[in-house]
Amino acid sequence: MQQLSVRGIICDMDGVIYHGNALLPGAATYIEWLQRTNIPFLFLTNSSERSPRELSEKLERMGVSINESHFYTSAMATSAFLSSQCPGGSAYVIGQPGLINAIYEAGFSINDVNPDYVVIGETPSYNYESITKAVMLVRNGAKLIGTNPDLTGPVELGIVPACGALVAPIELATGVKAYFVGKPNPIIMRSALRILSCQREFALIVGDRMDTDIIAGIEAGIKTVMVLSGVTQPDDMKRYGYRPDFILSHVGQLPELISYSG
C-alpha cells in the first residue's frame, strides 16, 4: 500500500471510533498508534451532545485514554461562530448539555422570548412543544442555526435521526433555511487545522460519511480517508460525484497508510 506523509490527522468519531457505547474494530489499535507516534491528531465530531471532557470520559469507559484537548465538537464551532457574529447575543437552544454549556461559554444567554438565534443540535428530548416554540421564534425574526447537517447517525442498534432531520420540520414550517456550522462547513475545518497547527497540504481527514467528512476534506484541500465501519458502504459512494483518496474497512488499517513527517 502506498504510504502517505502527513503532519496532522483530523478524525471523526461516530462510525469511525465507536457506535454508541461500543468501540469499533481497530479503534483501540489506531488510538494506541496515534499516541505512540506522537502524531498531532484531533477528533472532530459533528455531534453536539457532549463536551470534550464527556467525550474523553466516554472513551475512558471503553478502555481508551485520551486527553480532552484532542476533541473539538460542532457545538464548540457553532458557539464560536455565534460569538463572532453577535457578541453577547442570546439563543433559544434545542440540544444537550454539551451544546448549552458551549453557548454559555461563548458569552451567550439563553432566551425563549426574543432570541437572536434558534440553535438546534441532537437531543432525545426533541418534541412538538420545542418545535412549535422554535417555529414561532424563527417566524418572529430569530436566525436558524444547526450544529451540523447530518440527517442520520449510527448507534449500536442501527441508524437514528440526527441534527439535519431535527431541523427539517422547522425549516418547512417557516420557509427559512438553517445555517449549519459543522462539517462540511469550511469554518470548522479551518478551526481544526488551526488547533493542529497544520497546513492543509500536510493534513488528513478520516471519516465514514461522504456528505460531511469526505466532501469537507475535498473542499478544504485535505487528503481524505473513508472507513466502511459507519453509515457508508461501497455501493453508496457511487451516487456521489466525488471520491475519497483512500478507502479502508476500519480505522485500524490507517497506520499502514501513514508515514508521519513531523
Q: Which residues are catalytic?
A: 12, 14
φ, ψ for residue 21 (rounded to 5)? Answer: -110, 20
Closest CA to 141 of 168, 113, 122, 169: 113
CB atoms within 10 A of CB 91: 29
Q: How many CA atoms lie within 13 A of 176 on its CB side?
A: 21
Burial 109-134, CB ≥16 within 10 A → b, else e: eebeeebbbbbbbbbeebeeebbebb
Q: Are the C-beta atoms of 68 and 74 separated by less than 8 Å? A: no
Helix (H, G, I), strand (E, B), or coil: what is residue 231? coil
> What whole-number distance in Å separates Cα of residue 55 and Cα of residue 49?
9
Amino acid at 254: L
> What whole-number distance in Å separates Cα of residue 18 and Cα of residue 43?
12
